[in-house]
Structure 1
């Protein structure tokens, strides 16, 4: 995930092999079977147009008891990257916030496909689908936002929401904005960092486990390959410059589901049927991690 205002990310650990990431799927025999940036800070994206397909409508949750299931008693926080309103609040989202090891913009607009389908709308759609799948297994699910606020939340608040919920897992949903020809998904893992309010020493290992399981299930369920431009074909990348990871005290990863600026990837990301597969892959990876 290239960033216009950041140097290339520092690698802090040898990435897992593709086989190792995919092996996380096989816990039991029954379980086997650059353009505009998209991260915490960078260039603005085109204004979003209508969705290429009908998005899954947000479903109010918490009004009825959750069903009993394998994830009963577990808490998952889903962090839909960006906010559709960010484009109208550039002054507010450009405000610098403390990420422990430095300062960074509160949030960014995210990227968009060439037809105007915005990353912020993609992330909300996948997050709604993911919430429904996890709640069906009994998990308590909280979104960091649901387009219910004018902009943001800021990256430090996004981390704080997961921390205060004492989440068993946090997943930040994104899509990349790289060059044409750059394809595939990757999962961003927190590096071991300590400085200011950041100390990831207690979550590096658990986050790596969460990320590897998501990578394996995501590839299997969506049919997408690991990124051909980040992570050495492992689908995993370790970063020390993302406030949403640096400030987390609970297991957390970012998932870049594909590259919105590549026409072939964009055709997947703008299809409702593929977004459902993406949500299922994420849900299966999270469930595999939580079930141990």
Structure 2
């Protein structure tokens, strides 16, 4: 009868690699704490602002007249009145701005991605970068010099839209440019292999593929310009009446309504400008949410 013997295997000495790196673990914890601290520092003011605006402006929005009436005939001490005129004015100005800025921004991005080569493309890209950093008041003063001083036209809502166009174009260009770069080159090459011209490839293949991402950038650009105040103050003074014509008379907007009511110390005006601030936040938030939802259906990210 044979006897089975088992050799006793002694454990191998621990390698320096297997030992926990204490310093690395400490740095990882410190970085985690720093990230969470920075997040809390950024969130606290945001939550504070939202709480303040909602608590002080919700009362005005709960009144049905807020959505159906204007401020015409309403004095600083009069209770009531609505923001219908300012909401309509904000939406009209945003729509005109988008009609002008979106085609220019999209075509510029197409040129930079699909055709742009050499000095001209670098110059266009450089000018877009400059427009990105231009303050809104500088854009407003430029349009004022051109529209009022040079051509002698009156200050109207359309002039405001021209200033907002200068602020929206770089947002649309950069967002569209990034989405076009994400379109796989294989799609372009397959279209070229079938004998499709380049312009038709762009229209039928590239743009449809990046369409949802482009729309997202447009909505984010609109969300930015809808809250601008300087162009409205310089080119389109506020109005308390409803005006649907952007080429004649003054047109109200939510930012100018806030600015016009903030100097009043009575409770009625106090409630109105907080209500206008909350209304503007809701409109901007709706555009941002719409942009996020559309981005989920982006064909490029699938």
Question: More strand by proportion, 1 or 2?
Answer: 1
Whether TM exceeds 0.5 here: the answer is no
Question: Which protein has the larger Cα radius of gyration, Structure 1 or Structure 2?
Answer: 2
Instruction: Give the TM interval when normalised to the shorter protein.
Output: under 0.3
**TM-score, length-normalised on structure 1?**
0.23
**TM-score, length-normalised on structure 2?**
0.23
Question: More helix by proportion, 1 or 2?
Answer: 2
